[in-house]
Amino acid sequence: MSLTEARFHDLVDATQQTLEDVFDDSGLDIDLESSAGVLTVKFENGSQLIFSRQEPLRQLWLAAVSGGFHFDYDEESERWMCDKSEEQLGEMLERIVMQQAGAELDFEGL
């Protein structure tokens, strides 16, 4: 069963708020910008992570130095899962943030 539009937006809003909280609490020198459903994380070294909602597909998209990734929400695990690798968003972010910023952050719960 696919997500309703309202549930999709609620899930993405909650996920983006969690991401903002993790990055705010990280102590990293980063800039966060949230506008029109897009969350941009700019690291001190100039690299970025861009999270965007793709409403027609009910997906959360992530753009990183290592590529673009599309996530579907899995109701059973209550996690965003990569549609190609089936990796959880939180696990992927831990790896990507280490690669891009050299920082170990905990994205447990995503």
Q: What is the pLDDT of residues 60-100, one digit of tens each?
A: 999 999 999 999 999 999 999 999 999 999 999 999 999 99
Q: Between β-strands 38-42 and 31-35, what pairing exists: parallel, antiparallel or unpaired?
A: antiparallel
Inform me whether the pLDDT recorded for 42 exceeds 60.
yes
**In the structure, what pLDDT confidence band is assigned to residue 109 with cuts at 50, 70 and 90?**
confident
Q: What are the angstrom distances between the C-alpha of 16 and each of 1, 41, 45, 107?
A: 23, 11, 22, 12
Distance in angstroms (rounded) separating the CA atoms of residues 12 and 70: 13
